[in-house]
Amino acid sequence: MIELHYLAHSRSQRVLWFAEEIGVEYRLIIHDRDPATRLANKDVKELHPLGKLPLLVDGEKTFAESAVILEYMARQFAPHWLIEPTNSDYWAFQYWMHYAEASIMPPLLIRLIFSMLRGDAVPAFVRPLTKRVADQVDKSFTNAQIETHFRFVDDYLSRNEWFAGSTITIADVQMLFPLETAVAKKSIRAEAFPNVVSYVTRLQSRPAYQAALKKGGPYEFGPD
């Protein structure tokens, strides 16, 4: 039986969701966050040197990175969720698998990090300065990048039901996380990107996604 090591409010959700989609038998281990750093507790480093989640353990093999975990699970248990190189949709599949973390996620993370400079954790006497820095980063870089990427994705989804091919694949599982985080955190204007919002709603309504929510516990990027 595989083990899924899970951290709440994180990319772990996509792995747990996929496990529910394919009906694989698994043991779920939920880890706590360090209250100071908000990262996974230090004991996770006993499983992997980076101490990040999700992780999949299958016997003596341990896999990090959600895209790799998803592909491993698909190849082992549900190959119909993959698109193979002989298929004309293969390169679209590869593109969206990489795009999710390499392109669309970085500006969302930058916005999240700089938003902390506006928060109560910053001493009150320097908060006006840190807020100006955060506002300037958003104005000069982050806002435009997020707008560009979500315009690109929304246009693609206006013409395609799925990110690769004629049915759902792990490319969709991989892509949902950045899209649903942006919707949940209002990083995008919902009315400006209706196809993104519709796609997120459709996938979050799937029975397997709902089952994953029940097993993983509170998830701040899920449906209201």
**The pair of three-digit structure tokens given for residue 181, joined into one six-digit string:** 């985080």
Decide which of 2 and 127 is more confident.
Answer: 2
pLDDT at 112: 83
The pLDDT assigned to 32 comes to 86
Give the residue from 54, 94, 93, 90 showing the smallest Cα distance to 177: 54
Q: Which residues contact 100 (CB under 8 A, 6 or more apart)?
A: 67, 174, 175, 177, 178
pLDDT confidence bin for 77, thresholds 50/70/90? very high
Rounded CA-CA distance 30/7 in Å is 6
pLDDT score of 175: 98
The structural domains of the chain, ordered by start, are: 2-82+212-216 (3.40.30.10), 90-206 (1.20.1050.10)
In the predicted model, what is the mean pLDDT of residues 125-139? 75
pLDDT exceeds cutoff 80 at 128: no
SS (H, E, C) the chain: CEEEEEECCCCHHHHHHHHHHHCCCEEEEEECECCCCCCECHHHHHCCCCCCCCEEEECCEEEECHHHHHHHHHHHHCHHHCCCCCCCCHHHHHHHHHHHHHHHHHHHHHHHHHHHHHCCCCCCCCHHHHHHHHHHHHHHHHHHHHHHHHHHHHHHHHHCCCCCCCCCCHHHHHHHHHHHHHHHCCCCCHHHCHHHHHHHHHHHCCHHHHHHHHHHCCCCCCCC
Per-residue pLDDT at 22: 98
Instruction: Give the model confidence (pLDDT) of 23-59 as tens digits.
Output: 999 999 999 887 777 778 788 899 999 999 999 999 9
Which pLDDT score, from 0 to 100, does residue 132 have? 79
Residue 126 or 204, more confident: 204
For residue 144, count other CB atoms closer than 10 A to its CB.
12
In whole angstroms, give the CA distance from residue 110 to residue 76. Answer: 35
How far is residue 70's CA from residue 72's CA, in Å, rounded to a whole number?
A: 5
**pLDDT for 155 beyond 90:** yes
Place of tokens 């006497």: 125
More confident residue, 113 or 193: 193
Residue with tokens 């975990």: 69
- Residue 2: predicted pLDDT: 98
When pLDDT is averaged across residues 119-124 and rounded to a whole number, the result is 74
For residue 25, give both structure tokens. 């038998």
